[in-house]
């Protein structure tokens, strides 16, 4: 069955909607049990909001499922359950951290689970909106250059109207709504632009190149847009000190370029550019330098004698061990600050659910990426392929950069775990991302329309008087 998914098939594939429904039941039950677990561990009683939370999550999943059944019946059956499960677990983890008074003070924004639930609902609404109103993803192709402009405006907005929080300038205050992270939305829009642009230019980029020392080098005029993207990435890095986002954008451009042109030389070219940029920034920007220093010396005590967040995160993971302390029984609050619920949410996973839980969560993300890549392979049109690769790639790079940063594999950058971490922009944008992937996979797996009837094959019509 799985092999048939990868090839374009005109046969009537099963819609797999019932599989999705069964999976969704688990995706709702697991967070509900986790919620009960936290309550039992903290107060030895079932938490009061459990019924409401369970019904809410169940209702959201149910509505999403019905909409998918109606408007995207051939969509991939696993993506919605995985996203629901991660979103549900994220809500439990945030609620669980809300129970720690030390990191839930008014100065730190108070309890956040309720707000996060509202943002999740908004995200889900956007998800439904995309599925209902975007009948075909190829419609997006028309907005290639508008997408570029919108993405650039979003990316640049924090420089002009944003404020600096924790050394990074990535937030924009919207009156009455709160702070938003425009980069989270920009990443989807820029994938749309890349897909549209590369679909048109791929032949020029792939074929019109000169061979120098065994490597095909692109022509100067084709190189232009790439250098522009590179410059934008560097600008984000320098003006917004947002290492993660610039890495994400440049990384995804290289990936999509490679897929579109099938030329390895683009990867070498891209890696050269990013290496140059990284060295340039690391040597001039103190903030990035600090991050690298903390990465190399994770347990070093701060100059003022305090224990760094990085060290506390490592202690969280180490103390979790193989099976973790159990939900509600860890001390990841020692990380302190707002980071515990957002950037460092994985530390709570690692400490309370242990190595086992950590691997399970990473594998959930891996599965989501795999389904995305499979959608790209199965898609029938180049735009859909490129967009699906782009969106899955964004997901993969973001997971790697965040989880790698938190666990100390690479220097820490300020991005959040999709669905799991606290943050409205992130959860809304990622629900939209999943909706786009579902739309592409629905188109890919939909049975091909019956061949147009051939006049020759038709029976002679009897003309009745």
Q: Which stretch binds other proteins (CB under 8 A): 33-41, 116-124, 352-360, 421-429?
A: 352-360
Told to check if 399 binds other proteins by CB under 8 A, we report: yes
Q: Which of 49, 62, 109, 408 binds other proteins (CB under 8 A)?
A: 408
Indicate the DSSP class of residue 326: -
- CB of 320: closest distance to other proteins in angstroms? 6
C-alpha to C-alpha distance for 312 and 317, rounded to whole angstroms: 9
Per-residue DSSP letters for 73-104?
A: TTS-TTHHHHHHHHHHHHHHHHHHHHT-GGG-
Half-sphere exposure of 84 (CA within 13 A, CB side): 28
Q: Which of 75, 386, 433, 437 binds other proteins (CB under 8 A)?
A: 386
C-alpha to C-alpha distance for 121 and 12, rounded to whole angstroms: 34
Positions 310 through 329 that interact with other proteins (CB under 8 A): 311, 314-315, 317-322
Nearest alpha carbon to residue 96 among 47, 27, 28: 47
Buried-state track 93-126, b at ≥16 Cβ within 10 A, e below 16? bbbbbbbbeebbeeeeeeebbebbbebbbebbeb
Q: Which of 171, 344, 400, 419 binds other proteins (CB under 8 A)?
A: 400
Which residue's structure tokens are 């699906």?
388
x/- contact string, 69-108, with other proteins (CB under 8 A)? Answer: --------------------------------xx------
Told to check if 331 binds other proteins by CB under 8 A, we report: yes
Closer residue to other proteins in complex, CB, 17/374: 374
Q: Which of 393, 411, 418, 423 binds other proteins (CB under 8 A)?
A: 393
Q: Which of 294, 392, 413, 422 binds other proteins (CB under 8 A)?
A: 392
- CB of 133: closest distance to other proteins in angstroms? 28
Non-local (6+) Cβ contacts of 453 within 8 A are none
Helix, strand, coil percentages (3-state) for the chain, rounded to 5, are 70, 5, 25
The helix/strand/coil state of 121 is helix
Pairing verdict, β 162-165 and 168-174: antiparallel
Told to check if 259 binds other proteins by CB under 8 A, we report: yes
Closer residue to other proteins in complex, CB, 224/318: 318
Closer residue to other proteins in complex, CB, 291/371: 371
Q: Which stretch binds other proteins (CB under 8 A): 49-57, 113-121, 242-250, 390-398?
A: 390-398
Residue ranges in contact with other proteins by CB under 8 A: 101-102, 255, 258-260, 262, 299, 301, 307, 311, 314-315, 317-322, 331, 334, 350, 354-355, 358-359, 362-363, 365-366, 369-370, 373, 376-377, 382, 385-386, 389, 392-393, 396-397, 399-400, 403-404, 407-409
């Amino acid at each position: 069955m799985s092999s048939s998914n990868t090839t374009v098939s005109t046969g009537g594939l099963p819609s797999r909607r019932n599989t999705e429904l069964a999976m969704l039941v688990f995706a709702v039950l697991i967070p509900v049990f986790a919620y009960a677990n936290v309550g039992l561990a903290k107060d030895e009683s079932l938490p009061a909001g459990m019924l409401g939370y369970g019904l809410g999550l169940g209702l959201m999943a149910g509505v999403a499922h019905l909409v998918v059944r109606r408007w995207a019946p051939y969509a991939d059956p696993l993506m919605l359950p995985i996203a629901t499960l991660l979103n549900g677990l994220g809500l439990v983890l945030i609620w669980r951290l809300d129970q720690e008074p030390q990191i839930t003070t008014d100065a730190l924004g108070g309890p956040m689970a309720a707000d996060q639930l509202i943002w999740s609902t908004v995200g889900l609404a956007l998800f439904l909106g995309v599925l209902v109103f975007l009948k075909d993803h190829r419609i997006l192709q028309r907005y290639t250059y508008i997408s570029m402009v919108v993405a650039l405006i979003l990316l640049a907005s924090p420089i002009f109207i944003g404020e600096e929080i924790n050394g990074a300038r990535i937030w924009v205050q919207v009156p009455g709504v709160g702070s938003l992270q425009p980069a989270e939305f920009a990443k989807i829009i820029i994938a749309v632009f890349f897909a549209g642009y590369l679909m048109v230019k791929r032949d020029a980029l792939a074929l019109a190149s000169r061979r120098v020392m065994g490597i095909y080098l692109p022509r100067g005029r084709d190189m232009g847009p790439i250098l522009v993207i590179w410059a934008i990435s560097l600008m984000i890095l320098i003006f917004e000190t947002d290492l993660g986002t610039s890495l994400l954008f440049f990384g995804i451009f290289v990936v999509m370029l490679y897929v579109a042109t099938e030329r390895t030389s683009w990867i070498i070219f891209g890696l050269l550019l990013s290496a140059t940029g990284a060295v340039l920034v690391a040597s001039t920007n103190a903030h990035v330098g600090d991050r690298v220093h903390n990465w190399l010396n994770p347990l070093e005590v701060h100059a003022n004698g305090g224990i760094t967040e990085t060290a506390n995160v490592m202690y969280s993971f180490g103390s979790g061990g193989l099976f973790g302390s159990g939900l509600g029984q860890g001390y990841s609050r020692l990380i302190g600050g707002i980071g515990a619920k957002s950037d460092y949410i994985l530390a709570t996973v690692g400490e309370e659910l242990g190595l086992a839980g950590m691997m399970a969560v990473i594998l959930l993300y891996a599965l989501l990426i795999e389904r995305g890549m499979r959608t790209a392979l199965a898609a029938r049109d180049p735009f859909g392929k490129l967009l699906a690769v782009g969106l899955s790639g964004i997901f993969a790079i973001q997971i790697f950069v965040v989880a790698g940063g938190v666990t100390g594999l690479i220097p820490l950058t300020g991005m959040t775990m999709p669905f799991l971490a606290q943050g409205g922009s992130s959860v809304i944008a990622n629900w939209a991302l999943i909706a786009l992937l579902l739309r592409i996979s629905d188109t890919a797996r939909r049975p091909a329309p019956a061949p147009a009837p051939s006049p020759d094959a038709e029976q002679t019509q009897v003309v009745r008087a």
